[in-house]
Amino acid sequence: MFAGRVICLAYTRAAMKRLVILISGRGSNMQAIVDACARERWPARISGVIASRPGAAGLTWAEAQGIPTCALDHRAHADRAAFDAELARTIDDLGGDGQGHGPDLVVLAGFMRILGEAFVRRYDGRLMNIHPSLLPSFAGLHTHQRAIDAGCVLAGATVHLVTPELDHGPIVAQAAVPVLPGDDAASLSERVLGAEHVIYPRAVRWWVEDRLEVQGLRVLHSGGEPQWLFAPQVE
């Protein structure tokens, strides 16, 4: 007769990491993360999706998955600080544990608002972003056109932890894709996006599994999977 401890393989609710995802538009990275979380049975749940635009297409998809959603219109707020404060309240409401702790991780997935220093510091170490370039090259906007104009033959995407300096935090993972003759910003962005959908869920999973160690600007991953992806295949 089995007399040992009862081993429960299911994660308890308390052990589940609470993730809140912020979007602004179609939310394809959000979908990739939500899908991977369910498919790979991460010890995590998506506690909410918040959009910075009321009509964001990704909200409809998230609602259809039964995820609590909210839209905050930055134009309805007096200034950046007021918007950031309301955003933080909403994040902590959706992702809180009911005992005063906010979410374990806030995931920026195509969130097109610059966040102020106070907001970033509030979520220090638990704020992740994906940027569509190989940082530190091409921080900011119009990354694909700028990579083409600079004559780059490689472009890509970077998952990083967010610090107050825009697009400059510790790098968790990067993916490189070729820039092909004849590419324009749209075709390159589509190729990069395909790679984003691979590395972003992977990086969030590493964080959920406590496999990341931050040393200054370097992030070390323990677990055997590479922190880089070369995606030379062309559809």
Residue with tokens 């374990």: 104
User: To which residue do tokens 């544990």 refer?
Assistant: 97
Reply yes or no: is the peptide bond before residue 136 cis, omega within 30 of 0.
yes
Cβ–Cβ < 8 Å for 169, 136: no
- Amino acid 57 reads A
Compare residues 10 and 234 and give the one whose CB is closer to ligand GRF: 234
142-171 burial, b at 16+ Cβ within 10 Å, e below that, comes to ebbebbbeeebeebbbbbbbbbeeebbbbb
Q: Which is nearer to ligand GRF, 92 or 196 (CB)?
A: 196
Q: Which of 41, 192, 223 is nearest to 130 (CA)?
A: 192
H-type helices in the chain, by residue range?
28-39, 57-64, 80-95, 117-122, 143-149, 185-208
Q: How far is the CB of 2 from ligand GRF (least distance, A)?
A: 48
Residue number, 49 or 94, with CB nearest to ligand GRF: 49
Q: Which residue is nearest to ligand GRF (CB)?
A: 110
Is residue 46 classed as helix, strand or coil in its secondary structure?
strand
Query: Distance between CA 54 and CA 215 in Å, rounded?
Result: 38
Q: Residue 196 Cβ, how far from ligand GRF at the closest point, in Å?
A: 5
Binding site for ligand GRF (CB under 6 A): 23, 25-29, 109-110, 130-132, 157, 193, 196
> Which residues are part of the catalytic machinery?
131
> Any idea of the CA torsion for 41, 30, 49, 173, to the nearest 10 degrees?
80
Q: Which is nearer to ligand GRF, 7 or 141 (CB)?
A: 141
Nearest approach, Cβ of residue 12 and ligand GRF (Å) = 31
Smallest distance, ligand GRF to C-beta of residue 132, A: 4
